[in-house]
């Protein structure tokens, strides 16, 4: 791997950093406190090209590489993961899924508005009794000839209420198990769709998380992605890329907390000197720096493999697992270094700690990543 970033990659990183540090920071505490969706920030990032940054320019996207995506995600997540999760879902799940596996007609109709940020996408996999288990779908898509009749409930859906386009994983042939699952592109405003209340979450509170219910929703057969029964493979392939985005988000949360901890340790005095001069603090910072650098390398390796067209599922699982774990560790230590100030909102690190916890849970829990990793390890030896 070449560890030197290109001029374009550095420009993308700087643009993301500038926006996060100049604009996102202004109202992040208020939005977190009152669970306010970041409408204006999503619009601004769309104008900067970040909502469709991985999409080919042929479909009105930015045509950027995955390494650039990781750099941008890290910078946005340093300040506000409620915004970066909107960016992540739209890019690495919805846009990627349609561009990689959709028809030209689907790309023209659905992908272009998503890439331009005119619409936001949502990925509907999780269910009340299935979680992230794509093989246990209770939502059904009954084949009615030229359309599917969609019924069921999805929960924990990011962008559940604000999305204009849903990608819905549903079971068409229960007797075939996971080979009977399909993925459908669904217009959010189709008759029969209802959205539950906003989830009052511990972290990433201004992101838009809801349950979504389908009651006899008609979905044209032309909105199915891939052949009949392709839904399970679609979900697995798409989640591989999604894990890179969440790994980068976790990395950003850790980096943001670390930077604040370093700054505070140079300003706060105790026993006649800045606390950074005490080994108990300095050694914490050293451990945090090593863990963050390791996580960053794992994220960039997974991104590089994807950009090279090489298998990256194993690498993305490792990146997501490790980055989420160290995000929790680093943010907890950042709160500790801040002492009592770390426990109040003004200093941001308590919010970053709350956000870190969610990275261990969604896009497949840390335990699921361990399953993916262990299977690969055991197959090699």
Residue pair 192/217 in contact (Cβ under 8 Å)? The answer is yes
Distance CA 151, CA 166 (A): 14
**Cβ–Cβ contacts within 10 Å for residue 334, how many?**
30
**Which positions are annotated as active-site residues?**
363
Put residue 285 in one of left, alpha, beta given phi > 0 → left and psi -120 to 50 → alpha. Answer: alpha
């Amino acid at each position: 791997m070449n560890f030197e970033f290109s001029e374009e990659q550095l420009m993308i990183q700087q643009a993301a950093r500038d926006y996060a540090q100049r604009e996102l920071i202004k109202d992040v505490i208020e939005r977190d406190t009152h669970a306010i969706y970041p409408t204006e920030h999503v619009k601004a990032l769309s104008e900067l090209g970040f909502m469709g940054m991985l999409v080919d320019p042929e479909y009105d996207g930015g045509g950027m590489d995955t390494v650039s995506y990781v750099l941008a995600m890290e910078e946005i997540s340093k300040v506000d993961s409620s915004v970066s999760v909107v960016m992540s879902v739209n890019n690495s799940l919805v846009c990627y899924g349609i561009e990689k596996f959709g028809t030209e007609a689907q790309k023209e109709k659905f992908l272009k508005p998503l890439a331009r940020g005119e619409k936001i996408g949502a990925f509907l996999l999780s269910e009340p009794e299935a979680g992230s288990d794509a093989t246990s779908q209770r939502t059904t898509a009954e084949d009615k000839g030229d359309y599917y009749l969609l019924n069921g409930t999805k929960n924990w859906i990011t962008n559940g209420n604000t999305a204009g386009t849903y990608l819905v994983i549903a079971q068409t042939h229960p007797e075939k198990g996971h080979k009977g699952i399909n993925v459908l592109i669904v217009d959010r405003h189709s008759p029969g769709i209802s959205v539950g209340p906003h989830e009052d979450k511990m972290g990433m509170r201004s992101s838009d998380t809801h349950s979504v219910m389908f009651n006899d929703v008609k979905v044209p057969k032309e909105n199915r992605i891939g052949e009949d029964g392709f839904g399970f493979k679609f979900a697995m392939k798409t989640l591989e890329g999604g894990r890179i985005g969440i790994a980068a988000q976790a990395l950003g949360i850790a980096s943001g907390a670390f930077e604040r901890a370093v700054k505070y340790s140079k300003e706060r005095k105790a026993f006649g000197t800045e606390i950074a001069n005490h080994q108990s603090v300095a050694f914490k910072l050293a451990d945090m720096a090593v863990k963050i650098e390791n996580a960053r390398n794992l994220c960039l390796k997974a991104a590089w493999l994807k950009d090279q067209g090489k298998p990256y599922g194993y690498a993305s699982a490792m990146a997501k697992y490790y980055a989420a774990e160290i995000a929790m560790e680093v943010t907890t230590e950042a709160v500790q270094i801040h002492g009592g100030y770390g426990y109040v909102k003004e200093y941001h690190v308590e919010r970053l700690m709350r956000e870190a916890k969610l990275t261990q849970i969604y896009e497949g829990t840390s335990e699921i990543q361990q399953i993916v990793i262990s299977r690969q390890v055991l197959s090699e030896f």
